[in-house]
Amino acid sequence: MFVGIRDFTVRWVGYETVLDGLKDLGISGFELYVDSKLKGAEYEDMGHSVSLGFDLSTEEKRRHLLENVKSRGLKVCAILVENDFGKQDVKPDIEWIVDACRVAPTIEVKVVRINSVMDPKPGVPDDDYVKRTVTCIREVLKRTDGLAVSLAMENHGVLGNKREFIKAVLDGVSSERMGLTLDTGNFYWWGYPLSKIYEIIDSFAGYVKHTHVKNLSFAPDRREAVRKPGEDWPKSAAPIYQGDIDHKKVVNLLKRANYDWDLTVEDESLGNFPAEERLKILKRDIELLKGLC
Protein backbone atom coordinates (compact mmCIF):
# COMPACT_ATOMS: atom_id res chain seq x y z
CA MET A 1 0.00 0.00 0.00
CA PHE A 2 0.97 3.64 -0.34
CA VAL A 3 -0.49 6.96 0.79
CA GLY A 4 -2.22 9.09 -1.82
CA ILE A 5 -4.29 12.24 -1.66
CA ARG A 6 -7.06 13.98 -3.56
CA ASP A 7 -5.80 16.75 -5.84
CA PHE A 8 -8.50 19.01 -4.38
CA THR A 9 -7.15 18.55 -0.84
CA VAL A 10 -3.63 19.55 -1.88
CA ARG A 11 -4.86 22.81 -3.39
CA TRP A 12 -7.32 23.42 -0.54
CA VAL A 13 -4.53 23.64 2.06
CA GLY A 14 -2.76 26.26 -0.02
CA TYR A 15 -0.17 24.65 -2.29
CA GLU A 16 0.42 26.48 -5.56
CA THR A 17 0.27 23.26 -7.60
CA VAL A 18 -0.73 19.68 -6.83
CA LEU A 19 2.62 18.20 -7.87
CA ASP A 20 4.66 20.63 -5.77
CA GLY A 21 2.37 19.91 -2.84
CA LEU A 22 2.93 16.18 -3.14
CA LYS A 23 6.68 16.69 -2.93
CA ASP A 24 6.40 18.74 0.24
CA LEU A 25 3.95 16.27 1.80
CA GLY A 26 6.23 13.35 1.00
CA ILE A 27 3.66 11.19 -0.79
CA SER A 28 3.78 9.65 -4.23
CA GLY A 29 0.19 9.21 -5.40
CA PHE A 30 -2.81 11.39 -6.09
CA GLU A 31 -6.35 11.13 -7.39
CA LEU A 32 -6.94 13.30 -10.46
CA TYR A 33 -10.34 14.83 -11.16
CA VAL A 34 -11.49 15.35 -14.74
CA ASP A 35 -14.63 17.11 -15.92
CA SER A 36 -16.67 15.99 -18.92
CA LYS A 37 -14.15 17.72 -21.22
CA LEU A 38 -11.31 15.75 -19.58
CA LYS A 39 -9.94 18.81 -17.85
CA GLY A 40 -9.30 19.45 -14.17
CA ALA A 41 -10.61 22.97 -14.19
CA GLU A 42 -12.53 24.50 -11.29
CA TYR A 43 -13.59 21.99 -8.64
CA GLU A 44 -15.89 22.81 -5.74
CA ASP A 45 -16.17 20.80 -2.54
CA MET A 46 -16.87 21.56 1.12
CA GLY A 47 -17.80 25.11 0.15
CA HIS A 48 -14.40 25.76 -1.45
CA SER A 49 -13.54 26.14 -5.13
CA VAL A 50 -10.04 25.58 -6.51
CA SER A 51 -8.40 25.26 -9.91
CA LEU A 52 -6.61 21.92 -10.26
CA GLY A 53 -4.71 22.69 -13.44
CA PHE A 54 -4.79 19.31 -15.22
CA ASP A 55 -5.77 18.69 -18.82
CA LEU A 56 -6.20 15.27 -20.45
CA SER A 57 -8.12 16.51 -23.46
CA THR A 58 -5.43 15.80 -26.09
CA GLU A 59 -2.85 13.09 -26.65
CA GLU A 60 -0.02 15.60 -26.40
CA LYS A 61 -1.25 16.98 -23.08
CA ARG A 62 -1.66 13.48 -21.67
CA ARG A 63 1.87 12.56 -22.72
CA HIS A 64 3.23 15.75 -21.14
CA LEU A 65 1.39 15.04 -17.88
CA LEU A 66 2.66 11.46 -17.71
CA GLU A 67 6.25 12.56 -18.33
CA ASN A 68 5.96 15.29 -15.69
CA VAL A 69 4.44 12.93 -13.11
CA LYS A 70 6.94 10.12 -13.69
CA SER A 71 9.95 12.46 -13.68
CA ARG A 72 8.98 13.43 -10.13
CA GLY A 73 8.56 9.82 -9.00
CA LEU A 74 4.79 10.24 -8.71
CA LYS A 75 1.74 8.35 -9.97
CA VAL A 76 -1.97 8.96 -10.48
CA CYS A 77 -3.75 6.37 -8.33
CA ALA A 78 -7.18 6.99 -9.84
CA ILE A 79 -9.21 9.31 -12.05
CA LEU A 80 -12.24 10.84 -10.35
CA VAL A 81 -15.50 11.39 -12.23
CA GLU A 82 -18.51 13.13 -10.63
CA ASN A 83 -21.33 11.39 -12.52
CA ASP A 84 -24.88 10.86 -11.30
CA PHE A 85 -26.86 7.88 -12.62
CA GLY A 86 -29.99 9.37 -11.07
CA LYS A 87 -30.29 12.04 -13.76
CA GLN A 88 -33.16 11.81 -16.23
CA ASP A 89 -30.68 11.79 -19.10
CA VAL A 90 -27.68 9.67 -18.15
CA LYS A 91 -26.10 9.52 -21.60
CA PRO A 92 -23.70 12.45 -21.02
CA ASP A 93 -22.55 10.91 -17.74
CA ILE A 94 -21.96 7.55 -19.40
CA GLU A 95 -19.90 9.29 -22.09
CA TRP A 96 -17.93 11.07 -19.37
CA ILE A 97 -16.97 7.78 -17.70
CA VAL A 98 -16.21 6.06 -21.03
CA ASP A 99 -13.91 8.92 -22.02
CA ALA A 100 -12.16 8.78 -18.63
CA CYS A 101 -11.64 5.01 -19.01
CA ARG A 102 -10.18 5.46 -22.50
CA VAL A 103 -7.61 8.05 -21.42
CA ALA A 104 -6.72 6.33 -18.15
CA PRO A 105 -4.21 3.85 -19.66
CA THR A 106 -2.42 6.69 -21.48
CA ILE A 107 -1.38 8.10 -18.09
CA GLU A 108 -0.90 4.63 -16.58
CA VAL A 109 -4.05 4.69 -14.45
CA LYS A 110 -6.00 1.51 -13.75
CA VAL A 111 -8.98 2.83 -11.74
CA VAL A 112 -11.78 5.30 -12.49
CA ARG A 113 -13.77 6.36 -9.44
CA ILE A 114 -17.50 6.83 -10.10
CA ASN A 115 -20.72 7.69 -8.27
CA SER A 116 -23.99 5.78 -8.33
CA VAL A 117 -27.21 7.80 -7.74
CA MET A 118 -26.59 11.08 -5.98
CA ASP A 119 -30.08 12.58 -5.81
CA PRO A 120 -32.67 9.80 -5.40
CA LYS A 121 -36.25 10.99 -5.82
CA PRO A 122 -38.81 10.36 -3.08
CA GLY A 123 -41.05 7.40 -3.84
CA VAL A 124 -38.69 5.70 -6.27
CA PRO A 125 -37.86 2.18 -5.00
CA ASP A 126 -34.20 1.40 -4.38
CA ASP A 127 -34.52 -1.58 -6.74
CA ASP A 128 -35.28 0.79 -9.61
CA TYR A 129 -32.06 2.68 -8.94
CA VAL A 130 -30.14 -0.59 -8.64
CA LYS A 131 -31.36 -1.62 -12.11
CA ARG A 132 -30.54 1.80 -13.54
CA THR A 133 -27.05 1.82 -12.03
CA VAL A 134 -26.32 -1.73 -13.18
CA THR A 135 -27.50 -0.92 -16.72
CA CYS A 136 -25.30 2.18 -16.92
CA ILE A 137 -22.22 0.43 -15.58
CA ARG A 138 -22.67 -2.54 -17.90
CA GLU A 139 -22.82 -0.16 -20.86
CA VAL A 140 -19.58 1.53 -19.77
CA LEU A 141 -17.86 -1.83 -19.34
CA LYS A 142 -19.07 -3.02 -22.74
CA ARG A 143 -17.84 0.11 -24.47
CA THR A 144 -14.45 -0.08 -22.76
CA ASP A 145 -13.99 -3.82 -23.15
CA GLY A 146 -10.33 -4.79 -23.45
CA LEU A 147 -9.03 -1.88 -21.38
CA ALA A 148 -7.13 -2.71 -18.19
CA VAL A 149 -9.21 -0.18 -16.28
CA SER A 150 -11.63 -0.89 -13.45
CA LEU A 151 -14.63 1.11 -12.27
CA ALA A 152 -14.68 1.86 -8.54
CA MET A 153 -18.10 3.01 -7.28
CA GLU A 154 -17.81 5.02 -4.08
CA ASN A 155 -20.06 4.50 -1.09
CA HIS A 156 -21.22 8.09 -1.37
CA GLY A 157 -24.50 9.85 -0.68
CA VAL A 158 -27.69 8.72 1.02
CA LEU A 159 -28.51 5.83 -1.33
CA GLY A 160 -24.93 4.97 -2.25
CA ASN A 161 -23.99 4.17 1.36
CA LYS A 162 -26.71 1.56 1.86
CA ARG A 163 -24.95 -1.78 2.09
CA GLU A 164 -27.91 -3.56 0.44
CA PHE A 165 -27.76 -1.18 -2.53
CA ILE A 166 -24.01 -1.64 -2.94
CA LYS A 167 -24.26 -5.43 -2.81
CA ALA A 168 -27.13 -5.47 -5.30
CA VAL A 169 -25.15 -3.36 -7.78
CA LEU A 170 -22.01 -5.47 -7.42
CA ASP A 171 -24.01 -8.67 -7.86
CA GLY A 172 -25.94 -7.23 -10.79
CA VAL A 173 -22.85 -6.08 -12.69
CA SER A 174 -20.82 -9.18 -11.79
CA SER A 175 -17.55 -8.18 -13.43
CA GLU A 176 -13.91 -8.34 -12.36
CA ARG A 177 -13.61 -4.79 -13.66
CA MET A 178 -16.28 -3.53 -11.26
CA GLY A 179 -15.39 -2.72 -7.68
CA LEU A 180 -15.50 -0.04 -5.04
CA THR A 181 -13.86 3.15 -3.92
CA LEU A 182 -14.07 2.50 -0.20
CA ASP A 183 -14.70 5.74 1.66
CA THR A 184 -13.73 4.79 5.19
CA GLY A 185 -15.84 7.51 6.80
CA ASN A 186 -18.99 7.60 4.70
CA PHE A 187 -20.71 4.55 6.22
CA TYR A 188 -20.35 6.26 9.61
CA TRP A 189 -21.60 9.54 8.12
CA TRP A 190 -24.67 7.65 6.84
CA GLY A 191 -25.59 6.61 10.36
CA TYR A 192 -24.35 3.06 10.85
CA PRO A 193 -23.17 2.38 14.43
CA LEU A 194 -19.40 2.45 14.89
CA SER A 195 -19.06 -1.28 15.59
CA LYS A 196 -21.03 -2.01 12.42
CA ILE A 197 -18.56 -0.05 10.26
CA TYR A 198 -15.85 -2.69 10.52
CA GLU A 199 -18.31 -5.48 9.69
CA ILE A 200 -19.51 -3.62 6.58
CA ILE A 201 -15.98 -2.81 5.41
CA ASP A 202 -14.95 -6.43 5.94
CA SER A 203 -17.87 -7.63 3.81
CA PHE A 204 -16.80 -5.42 0.88
CA ALA A 205 -13.01 -5.50 1.32
CA GLY A 206 -12.54 -7.96 -1.53
CA TYR A 207 -14.13 -5.49 -3.97
CA VAL A 208 -12.01 -2.45 -3.03
CA LYS A 209 -9.93 -1.01 -5.86
CA HIS A 210 -9.30 2.50 -4.49
CA THR A 211 -9.98 4.42 -1.28
CA HIS A 212 -10.92 7.75 0.24
CA VAL A 213 -9.83 8.01 3.87
CA LYS A 214 -11.65 10.27 6.30
CA ASN A 215 -12.93 10.20 9.87
CA LEU A 216 -15.74 11.50 12.04
CA SER A 217 -16.34 11.97 15.74
CA PHE A 218 -19.57 11.76 17.73
CA ALA A 219 -20.45 12.05 21.40
CA PRO A 220 -20.00 8.70 23.22
CA ASP A 221 -23.74 8.13 23.48
CA ARG A 222 -24.18 8.56 19.68
CA ARG A 223 -21.38 6.30 18.44
CA GLU A 224 -23.38 3.08 18.64
CA ALA A 225 -26.73 4.70 17.85
CA VAL A 226 -28.41 4.44 14.45
CA ARG A 227 -28.26 8.05 13.28
CA LYS A 228 -29.76 9.96 10.36
CA PRO A 229 -27.46 10.47 7.35
CA GLY A 230 -25.30 13.54 7.82
CA GLU A 231 -26.09 14.05 11.49
CA ASP A 232 -24.05 17.04 12.79
CA TRP A 233 -22.16 17.28 9.47
CA PRO A 234 -19.71 18.96 8.89
CA LYS A 235 -19.15 19.55 12.61
CA SER A 236 -18.83 15.77 13.03
CA ALA A 237 -15.89 15.60 10.60
CA ALA A 238 -12.62 14.89 12.41
CA PRO A 239 -8.95 14.51 11.48
CA ILE A 240 -8.11 10.97 10.39
CA TYR A 241 -5.81 10.48 13.39
CA GLN A 242 -8.36 11.82 15.87
CA GLY A 243 -11.82 10.50 14.93
CA ASP A 244 -13.78 7.52 16.20
CA ILE A 245 -12.89 5.10 13.38
CA ASP A 246 -9.79 3.03 14.10
CA HIS A 247 -7.96 3.04 10.77
CA LYS A 248 -5.51 0.40 11.94
CA LYS A 249 -8.49 -1.99 12.04
CA VAL A 250 -9.68 -0.79 8.63
CA VAL A 251 -6.27 -1.21 6.99
CA ASN A 252 -5.86 -4.67 8.51
CA LEU A 253 -9.21 -5.70 7.02
CA LEU A 254 -8.05 -4.47 3.61
CA LYS A 255 -4.71 -6.26 3.92
CA ARG A 256 -6.50 -9.49 4.84
CA ALA A 257 -8.45 -9.15 1.59
CA ASN A 258 -5.14 -8.70 -0.31
CA TYR A 259 -5.78 -5.04 -1.11
CA ASP A 260 -2.47 -3.43 -2.08
CA TRP A 261 -3.12 -0.03 -3.61
CA ASP A 262 -3.67 3.50 -2.32
CA LEU A 263 -4.87 4.96 0.97
CA THR A 264 -6.05 8.31 -0.40
CA VAL A 265 -6.43 11.12 2.12
CA GLU A 266 -9.72 13.02 1.99
CA ASP A 267 -9.79 14.85 5.32
CA GLU A 268 -13.02 16.82 5.24
CA SER A 269 -12.54 18.14 8.77
CA LEU A 270 -10.03 20.74 7.57
CA GLY A 271 -12.77 23.32 7.10
CA ASN A 272 -13.49 23.11 10.83
CA PHE A 273 -10.06 24.55 11.60
CA PRO A 274 -8.38 27.91 10.93
CA ALA A 275 -6.52 27.99 7.60
CA GLU A 276 -3.14 28.23 9.32
CA GLU A 277 -3.70 24.91 11.15
CA ARG A 278 -4.84 22.78 8.22
CA LEU A 279 -1.48 21.80 6.78
CA LYS A 280 -0.22 20.60 10.16
CA ILE A 281 -3.33 18.44 10.55
CA LEU A 282 -2.96 17.05 7.04
CA LYS A 283 0.66 16.09 7.68
CA ARG A 284 -0.36 14.24 10.85
CA ASP A 285 -3.00 12.36 8.83
CA ILE A 286 -0.34 11.32 6.35
CA GLU A 287 2.08 10.28 9.08
CA LEU A 288 -0.58 8.00 10.59
CA LEU A 289 -1.42 6.33 7.29
CA LYS A 290 2.24 5.84 6.33
CA GLY A 291 2.65 3.92 9.57
CA LEU A 292 -0.24 1.63 8.60
CA CYS A 293 0.85 0.82 5.03
pLDDT tens, 203-217? Answer: 999 999 999 999 999
Confidence of residue 254 (pLDDT cuts 50, 70, 90): very high
Q: Quick one: pLDDT at residue 186? A: 98
Exposed e or buried b per residue across 173-212, where buried means at least 16 C-beta atoms within 10 angstroms of its C-beta: beeebbbbbbbbbbbbbbbbebeebbebbbebbebbbbbb
Task: Specify the CATH number for the domain of residue 48.
Answer: 3.20.20.150
Q: How far is the C-alpha of 131 from the C-alpha of 129, rounded, in Å?
A: 5
Per the structure, the count of domains in the chain is 1
Q: How confident is the model at residue 260 (pLDDT cuts 50, 70, 90)?
A: very high
CA–CA–CA angle 47, 49, 55 (5° rounding): 145
d(CA 67, CA 245): 38
Q: How confident is the model at residue 287 (pLDDT cuts 50, 70, 90)?
A: very high
- What range defines the domain where residue 279 resides? 2-292
- pLDDT at 46 > cutoff 80: no
| Range with the poorest average pLDDT among 23-32, 36-45, 187-196, 236-245 | 36-45
Residue 42 pLDDT: 79
pTM of structure = 0.96
Rounded Cα distance between 26 and 21, Å, is 9
